[in-house]
Structure 1
Amino acid sequence: MSSILVFNKPFQVLSQFSNGEGRVTLADYIDMPSYYPAGRLDYDSEGLMILTNDGALQNQIANPKHKLEKTYWVQVEGAVNEDQLKCLRAGPILKDGPTKPAKVRLLGAQAHSLWPRVPAIRDRISIPTQWLEIRISEGRNRQVRRMTAAVGLPTLRLVRVAIGNWRLKGLDVGQWRLENT
């Protein structure tokens, strides 16, 4: 029987089980032989990762051709304006070509329900920050960070909160749970 392991990946953890450079990996949090990541999450990003013991399911979740939507909460530097939101929604053009349209909205107080990041994000009194929710179905390398940078909004913190129907709901940072498929 295939099952899913839902993991809340901390900041600066590699989304793999081994590393020759002494960095923290999934193995420091998960001791479940035969479970493998269905996709990646950057070293400096946080949040939801899905692992599974079923290779076909792993491919279905990770492969962008299946268009499984991923939801990110993104703290950006600067005051977001309507033109920037329109550009993100239309799909900004990156060095490797245009992105597909994204679903983007400003986040309110719900972003404050996130755990504190260690180390904390720098705080500049003279430069505002805002939180966005960005939903995409592509999976390019560092795509969300490159999208926000392309519209003049550098990403300060990026947290994946959902992949398809899977959610972080109720998982503290560094914790995981098993779910049957």
Structure 2
Amino acid sequence: NLHRGEFWSYLTNLAYGVITTRDPQTATTDVLTYQDLVHAGELLGPRVYSTGPGVFSSENIEDLDHAREVMKRYSDYYDTKTIKMYGAGNREQRQWIIQAAKEMELMPTTEGALDFKENLTQVIDGYPGHEHSFPVFPLYRDVIDLVAFSRTVYTPTLLVAYGGPWAE
């Protein structure tokens, strides 16, 4: 009965009219349990979407097949539709991850971090999401046009502001 009953943050979301939540990265898999319970009608809450744990450089992606194995964990075991890629290696490794994710119909988002060149290559390579601010200010027209043309969803979060004041 550990997960039975009420989960106060979900009730708070509903009280303020929030009917869908998306956590772009969690440190644990318990949100996936809550997601399943809400979906099954066993727990009152908004629609819950999450990536589960992030994909980090500790995966040490060796090739495209290895990237597919890692993505399979997310699509089959975690049963999630999105992943969060945290600078999971060099550009070639990140390209394998995006390719494997697309093959498994997973939508990857990225951790912005403090490397502006890496941020731009993620946009160029087709990552559909970029979390946190770009670490430079101001953003010039060429970068704005690139992000718009790529249709990358850019989420400049308030709590983690690379290149700006920290709120965490």
Q: Which has the higher contact order (CA 8 A, sep 6+)?
A: 1
What TM-score, normalized to structure 2? 0.27
**Higher strand share goes to which structure?**
1
What TM-score, normalized to structure 1? 0.26
**Higher helix share goes to which structure?**
2
